[in-house]
Structure formats: structure tokens, C-alpha cells
Amino acid sequence: METWYRKRLGDEAAALRIQNMFSPLFAASGQPPGMAVFSRHDRHANETTAYFSPSASRLAALFDATPCDKPPSDGIGLLVGAARSWEIFFPERKRRAA
């Protein structure tokens, strides 16, 4: 099993930095379809957590993200990456939506 990474984001500016830094790294990596960053907002704690896919480990390192398990698909959104990332990492979401 490949390692995912997570980083609690302090504000929206951190999410913007992830989005801005993603494109150059994505291109330099050969645009792997599994390179993506997902996010989940916890309303109770009022914090957002970014989840970096295994192919986004270089980007995760730049943000001092820590290793974690693959996040569950409930309540998660695609912060940056190809739309196909949903099919790759969370195929059950498509089946549930159908």
C-alpha cells in the first residue's frame, strides 16, 4: 500500500499555495493521473485538512505533511488534480452516485 500524506491547513492561503505549486510539479512529474490533493473541512473544529495522494509526495514534503492512511471518501473534495483522480482513488463514490 502506498503512503498518503496529510496536512492541516491554517487558512485558505495554504490551500492556494498548494494549488499554485501543484501545476509545475505535476508537469515536471510527467502528469501522472494519480497525482492529486483532496481536502476535507471539519466544521466543528473549523479546520481544513489536505490529503496528498502517494504520487503527490514531493508536494506533500514541501508542506511538511505527515504520513497517514488513505482518507475515507465521505465529505472529501478534490482540491487539485485531474478529475479522473476520483475514479482512481474513490471508485465507490461513482457507484454510490449512480
User: What single-letter DSSP state applies at residue 44?
Assistant: T
CA distances to 6, 32, 84 from 65, rounded to whole Å, are: 5, 20, 23
Nearest C-alpha neighbor of 59 from the set 92, 31, 23, 9: 23
Is the pTM of the predicted complex or chain greater than 0.85?
A: yes
- Kindly list the domain boundaries of the chain, sorted by start residue: 4-97
- CB-based burial label for 56 (10 Å; 0-12, 13-18, 19+): buried
Q: Reduce the DSSP state of residue 27 to 3 states and report it.
A: helix
Dihedral-angle region of residue 93 (phi above 0 means left; psi in -120 to 50 means alpha; beta otherwise): alpha
- CB-based burial label for 59 (10 Å; 0-12, 13-18, 19+): buried
**Which pLDDT tens digit goes with each residue over 6-60?**
999 977 788 899 999 999 999 999 999 899 999 998 888 888 999 999 999 999 9
**Which pLDDT tens digit goes with each residue over 66-97?**
999 999 998 899 999 988 999 999 988 764 44
Query: What does the block give as the cell for 14?
Result: 495554504
